[in-house]
Amino acid sequence: RHLKFRLISIILFQDVHVMIFIGFGFLMTFLKRYGFSSVGINLLLAAFGLQWGLLMQGIWHLEGGKIKVSILKIINADFSTATVLISFGAVLGKTSPVQLLIMTILEITIFSVNEHLVVAIMKASDVGASMIIHAYGAYFGLAVARVLYRPGLRNGHENDGSVYHSDMFAMIGTIFLWMFWPSFNSAIAEPPLSYTQLTAVINTYLSLAACVLSAYAISSLVEHKGKLDMVHIQNATLAGGVAVGTCADMSIRPFGAMLIGLVAGIISTLGFKYLNPILASNLGIQDTCGVHNLHGLPGILGGLAGIVAAALGKKDGASATMQAAALGSSLGFALVGGTITGLIMKLPFWGQPPDQNCFDDSIYWEVPNEEEENEESLAHGDQSKHKADV
């Protein structure tokens, strides 16, 4: 039993690992001049976060005064890191690495308190972590973004957008997240290798498949001349994985899973189209990646679906009250924790970039000179013709 558990856990751990480092990292590379930071700072925060996460959960589970490391704890460390990477999306391009490391420490610490409360005290069910990772990470990040509001970017920024190839890199992130989400939602299902765990895999797979259809349909409906918008495809196709998280291991049947996925795709796409501009202009929340639409709203949808499913008796031992308390707790810790963290990040000595240098790798990275390259490329073109003559 232990042996088999470890085996399946190593498989699922690798898949979650790919989601954290390739998935989140490349999903954020859509910005035209911020690819180095997206994938590079993602690696830094995740590598730091998983060590901090191991420490934090270790403190809640000391064994003989020592922290023991196991595959399951490593999966949980990757999970706690995910909250930071979600919040990173909300403030992408507008914060320094030092600010983000501070956010990592505080967000994971607060996460471990909320997780302990939800799982150990309330005994709420959240196998795919719609509430404690996705909703928490999104609203934490939005609270930070609110505190760090930049009036100077009210009218946008020339580098806050994509180019053709940067959108292609982002699709690498999207597809890997999409493919391995069933592993994310089933990685800590109990007992391992059971029908329950298998159910979590299949429900997530079906929810994601349905979500793709509604995301494409709505994107085409709301865009000019029925065209598709890459932002929707890169993000809203994943909302089904977020939203089915809490219910993934419950007996919601294929119909339930697909319904959740369909609704998530609709809400998420509409959020990107109509809600994001309102948040920015009316509430002062500049959400670079639209994490509110990919993690926030679908996370709440997941929490609500969990309350309904518990009320309908879809999982033994789950209580609708405790599910609601878990959702409220996750949102509360996120908003309060994010606001406090934002205030600390706003202190003037963390190297926050000025407005004009936002969304630009060259402030933190040695970036190859593209202009010179264009000249060289032309020179090269001549030269290669030359070679062909020889």
Site for its own copies in 343-382 (CB under 8 A): 357, 360, 362-371, 373, 376-381
- Distance of alpha carbon 247 from alpha carbon 320, whole angstroms: 12
From residue 116 to residue 155, the character string flagging contacts with its own copies as x (rule: CB under 8 A) and all else as - is: ----------------------------------------
From residue 199 to residue 238, the character string flagging contacts with its own copies as x (rule: CB under 8 A) and all else as - is: --xx--xx-xxx-xx--x------xx--xxxx--x---x-
Residues 6+ apart with CB under 8 A from 378: none
Residue 63: helix, strand or coil by DSSP? strand
Q: How far is the CB of 351 from its own copies (least distance, A)?
A: 8
| Of 123, 165, 255, 347, the one binding its own copies by CB under 8 A | 165
Cβ closer to its own copies: 223 or 280? 223
Residue written as token pair 């993934």? 248
Which 274-333 positions form the footprint of its own copies (CB under 8 A)? none
Give Cα separations from 360 to 32, 238, 278, 288 (angstroms).
Answer: 9, 27, 25, 13
Q: What are the φ/ψ torsions at residue 66 (nearest 5 degrees)?
A: -120, 155
- Distance of alpha carbon 113 from alpha carbon 110, whole angstroms: 5
Q: How far is the CB of 92 from its own copies (least distance, A)?
A: 16
Under the binding rule (CB under 8 A), the answer on residue 39 touching its own copies is yes
Cβ closer to its own copies: 223 or 284? 223
Q: Name the one range near its own copies by CB under 8 A: 27-35, 112-120, 139-147, 266-274.
A: 27-35
Q: Name the one range near its own copies by CB under 8 A: 9-17, 106-114, 314-322, 336-344.
A: 9-17
Q: How far is the CB of 300 from its own copies (least distance, A)?
A: 24
Contact indicator for 211, 240 with CB cutoff of 8 Å: yes
Q: Is the preceding peptide bond at 191 cis, omega within 30 degrees of 0?
A: yes
Q: How far is the CB of 184 from its own copies (least distance, A)?
A: 12
Which 252-271 positions form the footprint of its own copies (CB under 8 A)? 254, 258
What residues are paired with 66 via a beta bridge? 63
Cβ closer to its own copies: 149 or 365? 365
| Of 162, 204, 288, 330, the one binding its own copies by CB under 8 A | 162
Q: How far is the CB of 341 from its own copies (least distance, A)?
A: 21
Q: How far is the CB of 344 from its own copies (least distance, A)?
A: 21
Q: Name the one range near its own copies by CB under 8 A: 30-38, 126-134, 136-144, 283-291.
A: 30-38
Q: How far is the CB of 369 from its own copies (least distance, A)?
A: 7
Residue 62: helix, strand or coil by DSSP? coil
- Distance of alpha carbon 374 from alpha carbon 371, whole angstroms: 5
Q: How far is the CB of 235 from its own copies (least distance, A)?
A: 13
- Distance of alpha carbon 360 from alpha carbon 153, whole angstroms: 14
Which 52-91 positions form the footprint of its own copies (CB under 8 A)? 69-71, 74
- Distance of alpha carbon 121 from alpha carbon 30, whole angstroms: 40
- Distance of alpha carbon 258 from alpha carbon 207, whole angstroms: 5
- Distance of alpha carbon 233 from alpha carbon 47, whole angstroms: 28
Which 8-state DSSP code applies to residue 132? Answer: I
Give Cα separations from 44 to 16, 20, 280, 286 (angstroms).
Answer: 17, 12, 28, 23
